[in-house]
Chain A
Amino acid sequence: MNLPRFVRALLAPALLSAAAHAADFAPAIIYDMGGKFDKSFNQSASDGTTKFKQDTGIEVREFEVTNAAQREQAMTRFAQRGSQIIVAIGFSQASAVEAAAKKFPHVKFAIIDGTVNLPNVQSINFRENESSFLCGMAAALASKTGKVGFVGGMDIPLIRKFALGYADGAKFVNPSVEVYQNMTGTTAAAWNDPTKGSELAKSQIGRGADVIFHASGNTGGGVMQAAKDAGKLSIGCDSNQNYIHPGSVLTSAVKRVDVAVYQTIMDAKNGTWKGGPIVLGLADQGVDYALDEFNRKLITPAMEAKLNQAKADIISGKLKVAESKAP
């Protein structure tokens, strides 16, 4: 990514306001607190918009929120400037999307990780429990101590879903495995606190964990660093994070936010866009575990066979992965 283009992308919302005509297709995307370069969730969305730009040459207006009040303002501004589709990244934008979608019924909205029941909103959710299940299996198979860890970002049902899938997956291969779970916090700041992430990971390592899975956006940088410093393994989240510390990242629970973002913008451009809920799981290749040259040596053929078997069983419905704890 070269500098001038990058700067243009950042300034796009301001500069394009005057230039955009109603006829021009001007999609917009609003990232959440972790920031566009969190190497995880938001960055995956950013990859989707970059691909769209490359494929079509159409600029995507971007906005990174730094406090909660900006969400609805940004949506309103984009809508007023004639964006036909506005993609909101992250569950915490749901109420802002709902308000903005009611105000602008002719503008298309899409929300990732949230549900808004309006005709002009596409609610895209993922079956994170399925990819987390596979990562839990990988963790338990790779663990020598029989103890594995999980560090979540903000304590919300979505992250609980990750944690549950992970724990179930770990117990699926080793019923006696111990799973330590920590949440970083209860506010949005928990997505961007690598120091705390590192502290939580160190505490789990101190208790014997040797594989730690994070689902915590930018906070995960600290988790993965702590695991690497201690010579343990970590598991990345949302984006494929295997490359960050080659040889120390066991795998990543990939969530194809990039594909979802690309698809919804593309559909809007081509006129095939429809509102309503979309749920993407292993079967739709919306989630997966990552295997590439950076973790090839960590995943043994035996592990890979087991993981792929479980994956096939989940897709065929033979193996059921719970989404939430039974009440």
Chain B
Amino acid sequence: MELYTLIVLTLAATMRVATPLLLAAIAGMFSERSGVVDLGLEGKMLGAAFAAAAVSAATGSAWAGLGAGIGVSVLLALVIAFATVTQRGNQVVAAMAVNIMVAGLGPTLALAWFNLGGQTPQLDGPGQRFTALVWPGADAAGQHPFPGLLYAQLLSGHNLLVYVAAALVPLSAWVLFRTRFGLRLRAVGENPSAVDTAGISVTGLRYQAIVISGVLCGVAGTYLSTAASAGFTRDMTAGKGYLALAALIFGKWKPYPTLGACLLFAFTDALASRLQGVDLPVVGVIPVQAILALPYVLTVLLLAGFVGKAVAPAAIGVPYAKEK
């Protein structure tokens, strides 16, 4: 019984931890499918996390925070787009420049505006955060182990952005593989010359893809600062952008496998949090160090043994120059 509760709670935590990863990975999918390496996920998320927390603290509205988060993230995305698509600069360098800039700029602005040492004020007013939505009857259902607890913990009790992220998976799969826009987007990542020959603007498509990536990173960053925690702290993305990129590659640039990869990373993380000090059947209590290493060990094992060849979009990382 204890074990069953533990499993359900771990799965619920998996969903919460996976959300920012998933949002960022799908953001990266749009950008990378159009042929632009999206190393800037980390910076865009961090920028959005800061903007969302700052605006939410100032206005008292999480929705205004979300708007600001998306706005800043799109702005950063446009900077990257201008440097890499219009000016045909190196995509990795441009993205890293944004990452480093945001890592310094966020705390600096927070210091100047709020005087709290590079953090934003704690968000605890009503409406300043995206809090958990409790579905009808969840509290009563939670008293019954099966299926009540599943309903109460897994379906109900998450914040809005978790559901948004979940809905994005089928939506992005549909956009990428069932719409004309998706077809063109994929084509521009594989063979931009062919797209250009067909009379479609490579620049336009790549800009669109990068802006979509900016919007989704904005939601991911907002989730971190106004839903998962209550305020911005320095480096709060803690490498989630890079992890999302790894999940994207792990998922072979496809929506559902990427979802699987994000859930796996999140699951190992949630498991690591919960297995500490728990008396497991057969093996007993596992040392903390071994448990904290678990996500990394599992990732290496899976990447080494169970994932086949991942083929990147052919034109990824190559700035497109029209032949004259």
- For A203-233 the 0/1 string (1 means CB < 8 A from B) is 1001100000000001001100100110000
Nearest residue, chain B, Cβ from A181: B277
Q: For the complex, is B115 an interface residue (Cβ under 8 Å from A)? A: yes
Q: For the complex, is B13 an interface residue (Cβ under 8 Å from A)? A: yes
Most B CB atoms within 10 A — which of A189, A206, A245? Answer: A206
Most A CB atoms within 10 A — which of B233, B270, B288? Answer: B233
| Interface bin, chain B | 35 or more
* B229-A200 in contact (CB<8A): no
Shortest CB–CB separation between residue B176 and chain A, in angstroms?
30
- For B254-277 the 0/1 string (1 means CB < 8 A from A) is 000000000000000010011011
CA distance A196 to B228 in the complex (A): 9
Q: For the complex, is A323 an interface residue (Cβ under 8 Å from B)? A: no
Q: With A1-B115, A196-B273 known to touch, is A218 a contact of B233 (CB < 8 Å)?
A: yes
* A183-B229 in contact (CB<8A): no
A residues in contact with B118, CB < 8 Å: 35, 37
* B229-A221 in contact (CB<8A): yes
CA distance A288 to B16 in the complex (A): 36
Q: Which of A36, A37, A64, A181 contacts B276 (CB 8 A)?
A: A181
Q: With A182-B273, A195-B224 known to touch, is A37 a contact of B119 (CB < 8 Å)?
A: yes
Nearest residue, chain A, Cβ from B2: A207
CA distance A72 to B224 in the complex (A): 34
CA distance A312 to B9 in the complex (A): 41
CA distance A244 to B122 in the complex (A): 9
CA distance A192 to B289 in the complex (A): 18
* B238-A193 in contact (CB<8A): yes
Q: For the complex, is A199 an interface residue (Cβ under 8 Å from B)? A: yes
CA distance A198 to B132 in the complex (A): 14
List 10 A-B pairs, Cβ < 8 Å.
A36-B117, A37-B116, A155-B292, A182-B273, A186-B288, A206-B5, A221-B233, A225-B124, A225-B229, A244-B122
B residues in contact with A6, CB < 8 Å: 115
Q: For the complex, is B79 an interface residue (Cβ under 8 Å from A)? A: no
CA distance A193 to B272 in the complex (A): 15
Q: For the complex, is A194 an interface residue (Cβ under 8 Å from B)? A: yes
* B236-A37 in contact (CB<8A): no
* A37-B117 in contact (CB<8A): yes
* B13-A195 in contact (CB<8A): no
* B234-A198 in contact (CB<8A): no
Most A CB atoms within 10 A — which of B16, B131, B292? Answer: B292
* A182-B228 in contact (CB<8A): no
- For A104-148 the 0/1 string (1 means CB < 8 A from B) is 000000000000000000000000000000000000000000000
Nearest residue, chain B, Cβ from A197: B229
B residues in contact with A202, CB < 8 Å: 13
CA distance A199 to B271 in the complex (A): 11
- CB-based closest 5 A-B pairs: A37-B117, A206-B9, A194-B229, A182-B276, A225-B230
Shortest CB–CB separation between residue A152 and chain B, in angstroms?
9
Q: For the complex, is A3 an interface residue (Cβ under 8 Å from B)? A: yes
Shortest CB–CB separation between residue B295 and chain A, in angstroms?
11
Most A CB atoms within 10 A — which of B224, B229, B235? Answer: B229
CA distance A97 to B117 in the complex (A): 25
Q: For the complex, is A180 an interface residue (Cβ under 8 Å from B)? A: yes
* B5-A207 in contact (CB<8A): yes
* B6-A207 in contact (CB<8A): yes
Q: For the complex, is A277 an interface residue (Cβ under 8 Å from B)? A: no
Q: For the complex, is B17 an interface residue (Cβ under 8 Å from A)? A: yes
* B234-A180 in contact (CB<8A): no
Nearest residue, chain B, Cβ from A183: B288
Nearest residue, chain A, Cβ from B276: A182
Known: A186-B288, A206-B12. 5 other contacts (CB 8 A): A195-B236, A195-B238, A196-B273, A199-B17, A229-B131
A residues in contact with B274, CB < 8 Å: 203
A residues in contact with B273, CB < 8 Å: 182, 196, 199-200, 203
Q: With A36-B117, A186-B289 known to touch, is A192 a contact of B233 (CB < 8 Å)?
A: yes
